[in-house]
Amino acid sequence: MQSTQIYWAIGTAFAITALLVPLMLPFLRRLGAGQSIREEGPSSHMSKSGTPTMGGLAIIGAIVAAAIGFGGIGGQMPVMIFVFLSFAAIGFADDYLKVVHKRNLGLTARQKLALQGFVAALGAFWLSRISESGTTVYIPLIRNQVDFGGFYIVFVAFVVVAMVNAVNLTDGLDGLASGVTAIVAVCLTIIGMGTGAFQASVFSASIFGACLGFLIHNRHPAKLFMGDTGSLALGGALAAAAISMNATLILPLAGGVYVAEALSVIIQVYVFKTQNERRFFRMAPLHHHFELGGWSENKIVMVFCLVTTVLCVLAVAIL
């Protein structure tokens, strides 16, 4: 019965997203929600200017409907939905300021981090109070639970904020963030089923289905971008699902591509500021480095998805 509900969650989220996007496109065009391309980005991306963004709204609606419909509204589901929708709201506010009010930077970095930190800490506190694991964290390498005590909230909040921003950085090529996230969501679905975390499995399955439905319209050449509305929401959703099933430390392995993308930005900034404005990568995040090296968008997406698949298989095996 539980497996059937997971399959239904996948199918429902897929169908809702695939059908919602064509209905949203005319509205987003009338709203003037076209993507602005940064001049310092790859020159090949200038052709994407004006492509409707904020498509993450379709993903959000699909995940909420499928997760609640087949996972119920009790237990840990309200926390996962809260974290998911809160990060979606932060992303939507950022997108709205950028594409509708034409404020290129949207929310300031300080505003975004403050809001993200608050949501992450509140979600971590909530989960620590209602989950069976409490403030313990499963350490895969020693195969044991370690009680983090009062440090749990800080640790989990850091993981959530890091994951959210890493997924956001990955959203730079057609189909990249949605493709990689779909694979990681499958990984979490399998882990949740194996550990008995039914609601987290349904939630992860809903993420998978929604990402697949979005990929129909987001694959190269993309008809629609998810924007920060989608990327921040998906990062929060993955983190919430992993924490709910006490697989927090598996997430950096399964989402190794996200980690690499974030680290490439950190390394690039550090080298630029300390080595007389020299650059370590051709351009950061990492996908732009390969793009400027001559790789096509489709090749980068395919390779990154393949790497993610290998890392997810390893993550399941370790856990």
Q: For residues 287 and 204, give the distance between their C-alpha atoms in angstroms, rounded to a whole number.
A: 25
Confidence of residue 206 (pLDDT cuts 50, 70, 90): very high
Confidence of residue 140 (pLDDT cuts 50, 70, 90): confident
Q: For residues 201 and 207, give the distance between their C-alpha atoms in angstroms, rounded to a whole number.
A: 10
Tokens 């209602």, residue?
130
247 pLDDT above the threshold of 80:
yes
142 pLDDT above the threshold of 70:
yes
Long-range contacts of 112-115 (CB under 8 A, 24+ apart): 113/161, 115/90
Residue range 16-36, pLDDT digits in tens: 999 999 998 888 877 766 555
| pTM (2 d.p.) | 0.92
Per-chain mean pLDDT for the chain? 90
**What per-residue confidence (pLDDT) applies to 97?**
87
